[in-house]
Structure 1
Amino acid sequence: MLCLAGCQSGQLQVVSLKVEMQENPQGVSTPSPRFSWQITSPGVDLRQQSYRIQVASSEEDLKKEKNLLWDSGIASGDESILIPYEGGKLSSGKAYYWRVKVATNQGETAWSAINHWSTALLDSTDWRAKWIGQDTMSNPGETNKGNTRLAARYLRKPFHAEKKVERAVLYISGLGAYEAYLNGKRVSDDVLAPTVSWYPEKVYYNVYDVTPLIGKGDNLLGVKLGNGRYFGMRESPTMIFGLPRLLAQLNIEYADGSTDTIVSDESWRVTSKGPIVANNEFDGEEYDARLELPDWNTAKYDDTEWLQADIMEAPGGKLTAQPNPNITVQDEITPVHITRLSDGRFILDMGQNMVGWLNINLKGKQGQPVTMRFAETLNADSTLYTANLRSAKVTDVYIPAKDGAFRWEPSFVFHGFRFVEIAGLDEQPSLSDFTGKVIYDRMQTTGRFETSNELIDQLFKNAYWGIRSNYRGMPTDCPQRDERQGWLGDRVTGCFGEAFVFDNALLYAKWLQDIEDSQSPEGDISDVSPRYWTIYDKDVTWPAAYFYAAKMLWRQYGDMEPVKRHYASMKRFLEHIQQVSMQDYILTKDTYGDWCMPPESQELIHSQDPSRKTAGAILSTTMYYSLLNLMQEFAGITGNQADIAGYKELAAKIKDAYNQRFFNTDSALYDNNTVTANILSLRLGLVPEGYEEKVFENIVRKTEVDFDGHVSTGVLGIQHLMRGLTEYGRVDLAYKIATNETYPSWGYMINKGATTIWELWNGDTADPAMNSGNHVMLLGDLLIWYYEDLAGIKNAPGSIAYKQLLMEPVFPDGLSHVKASYHSVYGEIKSEWRKEDGSFSWDIVIPGNTSAVVKLPKSLNIAQPEGAGVRNVKETESGIEIELGSGTYRLVNRG
């Protein structure tokens, strides 16, 4: 029986309007921005038949349909994501307004609400500002050697506004990081802006509409500059690019039509004698309240003792409007416990491994430093465990200017921590004196997941915290030690799972540009991008993330632009690797192996047992083969069809050579029969036809017999393990691996107190040099398995961005309930099933303008349904297959 209900209450309407995947974005630089929307209706099977978009330079013109820059007319079709603008040329630095209405099989919508966007400075000649700063290190202890140390810079510029301001827009880049103020008020709640980049190639600037912040008369534009990744944390030619510098331009349009421009130049004043005496991402921020500059960012402040700003060299990279949102405070948590140590220090437990900083509201003594050291775990004596932080000092210091209460939080650092050691207090603090500010790139949480199994749920929560802990303008490996780099290998398939939980499209599209910007002239890709650690290994397995992330953006979001933009760079990399790493069609170079596979002894980081190690040539060759297959798809969507034949021919030769060298036809195993060697060969399509089941039998035997049903793979094998086991009929084994609680397993981490994902399966016992408590690389394809297999939310074959769903959940014994949601570009998809005591129910939500093919096994005894949203029903040998339009449905068994 099938019950039908409305998609949502209310009327047919257009919602969730976006330009370049953002709602009302400022500073869009593309000449043809792309429009997206969603449609909702109280009815089922909602299908768009046509749309009409209108664009104007004022809201009034749009309402009156006058002076339109673009009227698409009635455009037939069901496309509703990333529709490119095709109107007149857009001007630099201007605001535009748009709306859309659609015709559907259920009628026509009214015009949508009017949304807007603004363009960036589209031509270099639009910039009149100069790079400025303080071109000296003049404070005690400042150095660009070793562990760098530098005070923050404070810059200010007074200006006068006599007339009524119609529109004012600030274009700003402060390297390494800035906070901007107008008349004492923060321009935005962004932190650590602008986003990181490989500065010799790309420098990003931000755009803010600041109209409400400017008053009639005297005004003051003030900027505080931190070091960020520009004046980097350690002495290194690829981590220190120079002293901090500012580029700022405030364009003002008055109501009478006149304009004014305030620019950064030598007329500004600067000082580094303020309260932030040091800021270093690895080491912390030091704040001396005795040096505060009251009202420095207001017009009334007297800056006669400040210096004239120095003109600084431009950073070198192309000045580019930032395409992705900045980092911001996205959550706040309160600590759960305070412990007083015998020496008077306090240990604060946040209850969760998090990333950000503390906001403190305490009492102190004049000149007596209050220090905060951060760590992920504790020693047995309740003191901080810091051995895994390596050289990072991770210490914030606040020096009170007077006796009594103070409130403070840092500006230019972040920490990865659960525990904080606090010294310098004479009174016992309370939990309410502290707030943990959780920071990561501004983005929507798109996924929710819960089940009848507490371990499965906690693992999802750990993954959720771990993923957002490592979004820092780039996906990073870890947030706590002296590393925090954009390692590619961590994200090859991980990015797909992450995309179910977070709307990470703009972050990953930007990161792909970092990867290309970091590419060598020969075509090699740095394993860390941006290449603050420059690692050209002529390897395949880590750079594969470049290709896979582009596929993720296309498949998950329907965005083909990253593929088009980076196709030539990807092709150059493959050709380079073919020249330097391929011998007789086998890829010979490999640096990392199946990184972090669980070793035979829990004191080891890497296994010393040859039988556990997968040969590098296996890893590189299988991955290169998969990249050739991806490039065939990419060539097709970018208009490079002429390349396809070459990719196919090379792939065929590689497959043949690979099997001749590594495949044992008698035993149906690869090389030394590791799970990783076999599952990569199977999942990536290299197994000779007819041998698939036999290879899979070796995977199962190896897992069940040699590893007692536990994971035996590292970073590469884990990318395919859960889906591979499920695809070939052993969801029970996948579920066992997901719910194991003994080493090595995710459950082992949780039972040891982990609230994120460890870097190592044995992160509690291995060498502290590499036991981060907040990594995501060992998630592999787990989250994909959660959504695609347990919840049954998949792209149908040939579908992009869940335009057509294939909903076919699996039901492992021991799991009686799964409830999942994913907010796709078309709207929210929901899947919730219960299976217990002979009864079965499944609640499904399919968003407007999409459809789904639902498959269930015969054993569930589902009756053939009828109803308005049912497009087709057929019985198959294995069960029932139902095609549904959008709407809310409940499927139940006959009972």
Structure 2
Amino acid sequence: MEFNLKGSKNDSICLNFAEVLDKEGNFYTKNLRTAKAEDNYIFKGEGVEKYEPHFTFHGFRYMKISGYKGEITLDDFIGKVVTSDVATIGYFTCSDTLVNRLQENIKWGLRSNFLDVPTDCPQRDERLGWTGDIQAFSPTACFNVHAATFLSKWLKDLSADQLENGSVPHFIPAVKTGHGAAGWADAAVIVPWEVYMAYGDKTILETQYPSMKAWVDFLKQGANEYLIADNGDNFGDWLAYAPALRDYPGATTDKDLIATAFFAYSTRLLAQTANVLDKQDDAKSYFDLYENIKKAFQKEYMTPTGRLSSNTQTAYALALAFELMPDSLKASGAERLAENVRSFGHITTGFLGTPLINNVLSRYGYNEEAYTLLFRKKYPSWLYPVTMGATTIWEHWDGINPDGSFHTPGMNSFNHYAYGAIGHWLYTHVAGISQASNSAGYKKIVINPVPDKKILQYAEASYHSVYGEIVSHWEKKDGFFTLKVVVPTNTTATVYLPARTITDITETGKPLGKVDGILKSEALGGKVILEIGSGEYNFSTLLQQ
């Protein structure tokens, strides 16, 4: 905060900062723990004096002023956003105002935690580069901002702080002890891969490959018949749903299952990285290792019918997202996940399951269940904090209770971007912008919006890829479904439209057969699939009932 005020010599002013007010409207700072979040200034007595702190920053929504003897107006103060300079490249909006507020909260959480390092929170006595938080959030970050240089720099810090045995500290820079947590240390592999996929530059893989390999080799050394035991440093599915019900102990996913799942996933990504870098011996070795981990996972944690030993949303989301279930059981695994969502009616995942659950549900055709999670307004849900006035993403699903009381102040940040990982699904499924599995940097684009049946009337997203701007804007109006698509130069796109036959679709009023740029078309499974070249298209078809 900057101020411009007059004061007599040796007069003082004290500014205190807080995220929230309590239910009586009082200034609340208990959740800041030992952080004082306080600026004190002593006046020189020489006219209007300008001040702002240069050696700290504050995460806050509210400011309390004390000790000042003069008159104060709002014009005397300027709130300044302090953040690393990452360009905004993504835009999302839809017809639901609460979802739009959620998107804004995601962006503000990113902006206030991308400050030299990707921190967990900007307000309390912590503000650390927690590896698990950015592992969960990096796909969403890469949609909203051009994060390549920011994350590349941080990953070099990770390499520098990586232990000699290959283990990775809980946070980077490593200012405290603790290392090797499943889903946290895996940021060494997952984050560089996500950055490569978003921007298509192999440099980050070349730079980070020794670090990526060292982490997987560390896990391999500690594995017992390709399984990873809980090493005592694992956090598990951090902050998963834990109700105070006698007949339900909470959505607890076994830590060894989680650790083995991430061992498999990091190994598979390392194999894919080796392939991209033309290290074929490594690629084969790590693909073989991945297959062995996968078999061990199935033997240890899965019944012959596809039920997992931890019958939780997170367990199924991990197993399906990381391709750990045999092909013959993927459908039943997805149905178990969907049934779990239907049974609870809400999300039960923590930091590791939340980034995956809606993507997995949509991949296997359970869009109704995914939208149920998105649109839920009661605790636990993404929109519950929005209904409680949140302007950033909370650390806990229930940071503030419905009666206005707070979660335990020892750990209750109101600006923690991890659960904002839902933003990736907003772009890829609600708006429908993604890319082919064999593409990086959006060379081969996929436009496949999946509208819900009841609430949304439109959704729009744009993403400024390395090739140029990609746009997907769909709308349901007057009995028609319209889809505007922009495909940048030197790319192609596969577009999915909800129509039974090709003749049901027009582009700017013309039959598809008379439209330049349509490279291929086919009707399949209630959708028409088009291969198109660069350009701007406006498709229209009758709404299917």
Whole-angstrom distance in 1 between the partners of 2:450 and 2:17: 42
Whole-angstrom distance in 1 between the partners of 2:146 and 2:283: 32
Give how far 1:439 is off: 1.2
The structure 1 residue matched to 2:182, chosen from 537, 540, 557, is: 540
- The aligned counterpart of 1:693 is 331
- The aligned counterpart of 1:434 is 77
Whole-angstrom distance in 1 between the partners of 2:318 and 2:171: 23
Give how far 1:686 is off: 1.1
Whole-angstrom distance in 2 between the partners of 1:491 and 1:872: 39
Q: Deviations over 1:182-207 (max 9, x none)?
A: xxxxxxxxxxxxxxxxxxxxxxxxxx
Q: Deviations over 1:658-693 (max 9, x none)?
A: 211211224x21013111111211111111221111
- The aligned counterpart of 1:747 is 383
Give how far 1:859 is off: 5.4
Q: Deviations over 1:682-726 (max 9, x none)?
A: 111111221111111211121211x2x211000111121011111
SS in 2 for 1:587: coil
TM-score by length of 2: 0.93
Q: Deviations over 1:755-781 (max 9, x none)?
A: 00001111123211110000011123x
- The aligned counterpart of 1:663 is 302
The structure 2 residue matched to 1:491, chosen from 134, 147, 155, is: 134
- The aligned counterpart of 1:792 is 432
SS in 2 for 1:848: coil
> In the alignment, is the contact (CA less than 8 A) between 1:491 and 1:545 conserved in 2?
yes
* Larger Rg belongs to: 1
Whole-angstrom distance in 2 between the partners of 1:436 and 1:483: 22
Q: Deviations over 1:712-759 (max 9, x none)?
A: 000111121011111111111111211111010121111212100001
The structure 2 residue matched to 1:721, chosen from 357, 364, 372, is: 357
Instruction: Indicate yes or no: 2:236 matched with 1:593.
Output: yes
Whole-angstrom distance in 2 between the partners of 1:843 and 1:673: 41
- The aligned counterpart of 2:485 is 844
Give how far 1:589 is off: 2.4
Whole-angstrom distance in 2 between the partners of 1:500 and 1:715: 19
1:597–1:718 CA distance, 2 compared to 1 (3 A):
same
Instruction: Indicate yes or no: 2:450 matched with 1:810.
Output: yes
> In the alignment, is the contact (CA less than 8 A) between 1:500 and 1:822 conserved in 2?
yes
- The aligned counterpart of 1:880 is 528
Q: Deviations over 1:85-117 (max 9, x none)?
A: xxxxxxxxxxxxxxxxxxxxxxxxxxxxxxxxx
- The aligned counterpart of 1:79 is none
1:868–1:862 CA distance, 2 compared to 1 (3 A):
closer
Whole-angstrom distance in 2 between the partners of 1:790 and 1:383: 39
Structure 1: any 5+ residue segments left out of the alignment?
A: 1-357
SS in 2 for 1:893: strand
1:608–1:801 CA distance, 2 compared to 1 (3 A):
farther
Question: Following superposition of structure 1 onto structure 2, how do residues 59-458 of structure 1 map, counting pairs within 5 Å?
Answer: 358-402=1-45, 404-458=47-101
Give how far 1:610 is off: 4.5
Give how far 1:611 is off: 5.2
- The aligned counterpart of 1:777 is 418
SS in 2 for 1:415: coil
Give how far 1:786 is off: 0.8
Q: Which has the higher strand share?
A: 1
- The aligned counterpart of 2:540 is 892
Whole-angstrom distance in 2 between the partners of 1:881 and 1:413: 53
Letter in 2 for 1:620: A
Letter in 1 for 2:517: G
Letter in 2 for 1:625: A
> In the alignment, is the contact (CA less than 8 A) between 1:514 and 1:530 conserved in 2?
yes
> In the alignment, is the contact (CA less than 8 A) between 1:376 and 1:416 conserved in 2?
yes
Whole-angstrom distance in 1 between the partners of 2:278 and 2:436: 24
Give how far 1:792 is off: 1.2
Instruction: Indicate yes or no: 2:496 matched with 1:855.
Output: yes
Whole-angstrom distance in 2 between the partners of 1:608 and 1:497: 36
Whole-angstrom distance in 1 between the partners of 2:62 and 2:71: 17
Whole-angstrom distance in 2 between the partners of 1:685 and 1:646: 18
Structure 2: any 5+ residue segments left out of the alignment?
A: 401-405
Whole-angstrom distance in 1 between the partners of 2:60 and 2:451: 37
Whole-angstrom distance in 1 between the partners of 2:432 and 2:541: 18
> In the alignment, is the contact (CA less than 8 A) between 1:759 and 1:773 conserved in 2?
yes
> In the alignment, is the contact (CA less than 8 A) between 1:763 and 1:772 conserved in 2?
yes
Letter in 2 for 1:786: L
- The aligned counterpart of 1:525 is 168
Q: Deviations over 1:782-833 (max 9, x none)?
A: 1111111111111123121111211111011211100111111111111111
Number of aligned residues: 528
> In the alignment, is the contact (CA less than 8 A) between 1:611 and 1:672 conserved in 2?
no
Q: Which has the higher helix share?
A: 2
Whole-angstrom distance in 1 between the partners of 2:494 and 2:135: 28
Whole-angstrom distance in 1 between the partners of 2:314 and 2:437: 26
TM-score by length of 1: 0.57
Letter in 2 for 1:470: N
Whole-angstrom distance in 1 between the partners of 2:212 and 2:383: 38
Give how far 1:850 is off: 1.7
> In the alignment, is the contact (CA less than 8 A) between 2:241 and 2:250 conserved in 1?
no
Task: Report the RMSD for the aligned CA atoms in angstroms.
Answer: 1.9
Letter in 2 for 1:743: Y
> In the alignment, is the contact (CA less than 8 A) between 1:528 and 1:534 conserved in 2?
no
Structure of greater relative contact order (alpha carbons < 8 Å, 6+ residues apart): 2
> In the alignment, is the contact (CA less than 8 A) between 2:193 and 2:205 conserved in 1?
yes
Q: Deviations over 1:100-144 (max 9, x none)?
A: xxxxxxxxxxxxxxxxxxxxxxxxxxxxxxxxxxxxxxxxxxxxx
Whole-angstrom distance in 2 between the partners of 1:748 and 1:876: 38
SS in 2 for 1:539: coil
Greater Cα offset, 725-734 or 395-404: 395-404
